[in-house]
């Protein structure tokens, strides 16, 4: 039985843009996020406090956060990689943050130059301070359905790490198929394993569409009882530490599917399309979303 409502978490401004090499100005990012804020999202990921040396596109995320027009009903989180990033978030009066981890030892070292155990210690330190400051904390997990370096990643290890993140104070864990290896049955096996450790209500899915499986995997996830999904407007995105990983699943395609299933997200599809047009015009290329392209051609 499908849920009547789902949460759509928009990650385009951070996860969608982080891999882009062209210079996108602060003013353009602010306008992009303001357009997204008109769409009635509950969650729009603004940027991150990672070093611009490693992810140049995320430089000045604090300024972007300060300048955007914020809806009271919308959460505007920023990604925090370490305690220094957390202090930057606190100085910027950020109310919500994201932390990230993976059950792949190799990817962990490639991504953050830290082992899984070191990452867990780092996250514990971040969360201890964040909770004292009443921040809302969400967790991302990378490579849950396969790693570009290790191949298959243990679902049991992913489940245990998800439990650790929830126990330490995260309200939700977003399970990321970073390179898009997942297929529907494997997606359901993963969710089944993770749900043995944490409640379905605390599971979100973050699915990339590298092999064209994202919508099918979302459908499979909904069948399992998951109702929170990360999407990226127009299909923006990729991972700088996972070669060959293409964009996130497109927000427009997910909304079209859910609308057709009678599942409510509360998000205005036409306004999402306006945000897609804006950012893809800046990037100078065609929108990746099939739904967006079909709507534009009418």
Strands across the sheet containing 228-231 = 7-10, 228-231, 203-207, 172-177, 136-142, 96-102, 78-79, 47-48
CA 236 to chain centre: 11
C-alpha to C-alpha distance for 1 and 83, rounded to whole angstroms: 42
CB 55 within 8 A of CB 81: no
Report the residue count for the chain.
298
Q: Which of 39, 143, 170, 239 is catalytic?
A: 239
Residue 239: active-site member: yes
Q: At what angle do helices 214-224 and 251-260 cross, to 10 degrees?
A: 50
Q: How many CA atoms lie within 13 A of 267 on its CB side?
A: 34
Dist. CA 26–CA 182, nearest whole Å: 35
Pairwise CA distance, residues 60 & 247, whole Å = 23
Active site residues: 239
């Amino acid at each position: 039985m499908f849920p009547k409502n789902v949460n759509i978490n928009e990650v385009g401004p951070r996860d969608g843009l982080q891999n882009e090499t062209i210079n996108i100005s602060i003013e353009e990012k602010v306008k992009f996020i303001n357009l997204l804020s008109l769409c009635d999202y509950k969650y729009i990921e603004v940027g991150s406090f990672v070093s611009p040396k490693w992810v140049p596109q995320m430089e000045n995320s604090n300024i972007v956060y300060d300048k955007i027009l914020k809806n009271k009903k919308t959460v505007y989180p920023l990604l925090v990689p370490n305690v220094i990033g957390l202090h930057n978030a606190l100085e910027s009066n950020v109310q919500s943050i994201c932390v990230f981890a993976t059950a792949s030892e190799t990817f962990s070292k490639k991504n953050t130059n830290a082992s899984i155990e070191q990452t867990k210690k780092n996250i514990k330190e971040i969360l201890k301070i964040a909770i004292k400051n009443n921040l809302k904390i969400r967790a991302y997990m990378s490579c849950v359905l396969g790693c570009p370096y290790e191949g298959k990643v243990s679902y049991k290890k992913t489940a245990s790490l998800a439990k650790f993140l929830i126990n330490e104070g995260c309200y939700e864990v977003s399970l990321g198929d970073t390179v898009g290896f997942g297929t529907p049955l494997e997606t359901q096996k993963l969710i089944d394993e993770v749900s043995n450790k944490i409640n379905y209500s605390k599971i979100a899915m973050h699915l990339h569409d590298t092999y064209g499986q994202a919508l099918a995997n979302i459908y499979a996830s909904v069948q399992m009882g998951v109702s929170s999904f990360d999407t990226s407007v127009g299909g923006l995105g990729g991972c700088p530490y996972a070669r060959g990983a293409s964009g996130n699943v497109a927000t427009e395609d997910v909304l079209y599917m859910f609308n057709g299933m009678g599942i409510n997200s509360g998000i205005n599809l036409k306004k999402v399309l306006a945000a897609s047009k804006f950012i893809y015009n800046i990037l100078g290329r065609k929108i990746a979303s099939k739904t967006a392209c079909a709507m534009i051609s009418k």
